């Protein structure tokens, strides 16, 4: 699949793909954490697919399967209950295990590499260099107190 075809697939099936992605990484509204589909991870997958034919093939196979499953169910995407959405993703995992793993790994990578996601999980949104994180250095007294029992046992190596 070339880049244009990938873009076409991802735009025409966007709603279906978002439903699947929302199942993979659900939201936590209490913490303001969005689901993967809602965060636009489909765009990331489209970019990866455009660069990597193996990923494109895996995703195309999966999404074709998802369309077929939906037609077979006789329901519209809009009418699909949450339990049926879960059933759809479970079916994809069972019937296309290798392709599903490609989808799952790339979804995780797209989602958790985002600065805004990192920040929601307590990490810095900024690149880690040069800012890093503040970690207080233990005082000499604190380390001395912590290691006291170890030091009091004395040497614990074999002389030879």
Partner 1 sequence: MNEEPVDVLIIGAGASGAAIAWSLTDTRMRILCLEQGPHLHDADFPSRNPDYELSRYAEFSCDPNVRQLPQDYPINSAGSKITPVNFNAVGGSTINFLGHWPRMRPSDFKTRSLDGVGTDWPLDYATLAPFYDINDRNMGVSGLGGNPAYPHYVPPLPPIPIGKLGKRLAGGFNKLGWHWWPSDVAILSEDYDGRSKCVNAGTCDLGCAAGAKASVSFSYWPMLQRMGVELKTHCRVAEITVGDDGMASGVLYHDENGQVQQQKAEIVVVACNGVGTPRLLLNSTSKQFPDGLANRSGMVGRNLMFHPLTGVTGVFDEPMEGFKGPMACSILSQEFYETDPTRDFVRGYGLHSGRYVTPMTYALGGYGVDNPVPWGTEHRHLFDNVYPYSAGLTVVTEDLAHESNCVTLDPDLTDSDGIPAPKIHYQVCDNTRKMIAHGEDRAEEALLAAGARQILGKGGDVWWRAGWHQMGTARMGDDPEKSVVNAWGRSHDVKNLFIVDGSIFVTSGAVNPTSTIQALALYIGDNIKKNIANLFD
**Token pair of 145 as six digits:** 């107190």
d(Cα 1, Cα 56) in Å, to the nearest integer? 6
Taking the least distance from each CB to partner 1, the nearer of 8 and 119 is 119
Check residue 88 for interaction with partner 1 (CB under 8 A): no
Check residue 113 for interaction with partner 1 (CB under 8 A): yes
Smallest gap from Cβ 65 to partner 1, in A, equals 16
Q: Which stretch binds partner 1 (CB under 8 A): 7-15, 59-67, 71-79, 144-152?
A: 144-152
Q: Which of 31, 74, 83, 97 binds partner 1 (CB under 8 A)?
A: 31
* Residues whose CB is less than 8 angstroms from the CB of residue 27 and which lie 6 or more positions away in sequence, other chains included: 33, 34, 35, 38
Q: Which stretch binds partner 1 (CB under 8 A): 8-16, 59-67, 71-79, 131-139?
A: 131-139
Check residue 40 for interaction with partner 1 (CB under 8 A): no
Q: What is the DSSP letter of 1?
A: -
40-43 contacts, C-beta under 8 A, 24 or more apart: 41/107, 41/110, 41/111, 42/10, 42/14, 42/17, 42/18, 43/10
Q: Which of 24, 49, 50, 88 binds partner 1 (CB under 8 A)?
A: 24
């Amino acid at each position: 699949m070339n880049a244009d075809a990938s873009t076409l697939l991802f735009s025409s099936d966007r709603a279906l793909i978002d439903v699947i992605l929302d199942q993979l990484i659900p939201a936590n509204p209490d913490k303001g954490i969005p689901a993967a589909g809602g965060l636009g991870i489909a765009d990331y997958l489209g970019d990866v697919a455009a660069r990597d034919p193996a990923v494109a093939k895996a995703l195309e196979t999966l999404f074709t399967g998802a369309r077929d499953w939906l037609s077979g169910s006789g329901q519209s995407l809009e009418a699909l209950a949450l339990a049926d959405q879960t059933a759809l993703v479970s079916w994809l995992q069972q019937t296309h295990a290798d392709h599903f793993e490609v989808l799952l790994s790339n979804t995780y990578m797209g989602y958790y590499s985002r600065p805004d996601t990192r920040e929601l999980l307590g990490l810095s949104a900024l690149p880690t260099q040069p800012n890093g994180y503040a970690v207080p250095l233990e005082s000499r007294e604190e380390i001395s107190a912590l290691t006291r029992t170890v030091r009091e046992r004395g040497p614990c190596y074999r002389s030879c």
